[in-house]
Amino acid sequence: MLKNQLIGLKSDKIYVLHVNGKREWINGLGVIDTSIFIDKNFGDIINILNFDFKIIKPNLEDILSNLEKGTQGINKKDIGTIIMKSGIKGDSRVVEIGIGSGFLTISILFYLVSGKLISYDISRKNAENVMEIAKHFGMEDKWEFKIRDFKDGIDENNLDAIFVDIPEPWLNFENSMKALKPGGMFIAYLPNITQVRELLNKIERQEYYRAEIIEILERSWTYGRKELRPENFGLLHTSFIVFIRSL
């Protein structure tokens, strides 16, 4: 039984939807009555619009691939490392600064089970757009957004992680570190090395903090019966990721 489950419909691509029993708009398919999936199981074949689809359990990449119609913020190649090194788990309490297109927001919500994500942004339009996406995937109960500038502070404390995707993450750095649990992680996503240097200047004035800086480069390989070689082009610099752990 798939009621209230997140499922993927696999054909030439994978369409992801939440089985909530309602009629939902699915990009590429149109309006689908999700109640037709309630008594199905993963692995079943179902015919929709004269096409056969296999019902699969979607992973995070499947979900993010369904979001790529809009402007992408944090890149998929960076998200895995960001979440893994953040240390968050199913019951974590997490704050996100800067919602943007929602790629990281949805990725964090995917990993939270009984936990909570609170996101801050200065754009209500961004927040409301991503809330619609969260509702589409049945994730809205785990998410709350607040319209506020980061420099004005956050309300939460005893946090497992703070993710920051804004140009000036140092504006409220010290208070953010105090809002973390011991061992909690502050993660900043910065496109330019000058931004990294500015954040490091802030840290260096507080000698008890140490930063780890990562840049992730990605290159695929092509293969066939007579070849196995790297692609001529890869996904190179997107941003620097700075990890700072609370003491």
pLDDT digits (tens, 9 = 90+) for 90-143: 999 999 999 988 999 999 999 999 999 999 999 999 999 999 999 999 999 999
CATH class of domain segment(s) 6-58: alpha beta
What pLDDT is stored for residue 160 in this prediction?
98
| pLDDT category of residue 210 using cuts at 50, 70 and 90 | confident
pLDDT in tens, 134-178: 999 999 999 999 999 999 999 999 999 999 999 999 999 999 999
- The answer as to CATH 3.40.50.720 being correct for domain 64-245 is no
Q: Quick check: do 6-58 and 64-245 share a fold?
A: no
pLDDT band at 68 (very low <50, low <70, confident <90, very high): low
Query: Which burial class, exposed, middle or buried, applies to 98 when counting CB atoms under 10 A from its CB (0-12, 13-18, 19+)?
Result: buried
Domain range annotation of the chain: 6-58, 64-245
CA atoms within 13 A on the CB side of 17: 26
C-alpha to C-alpha distance for 181 and 246, rounded to whole angstroms: 7
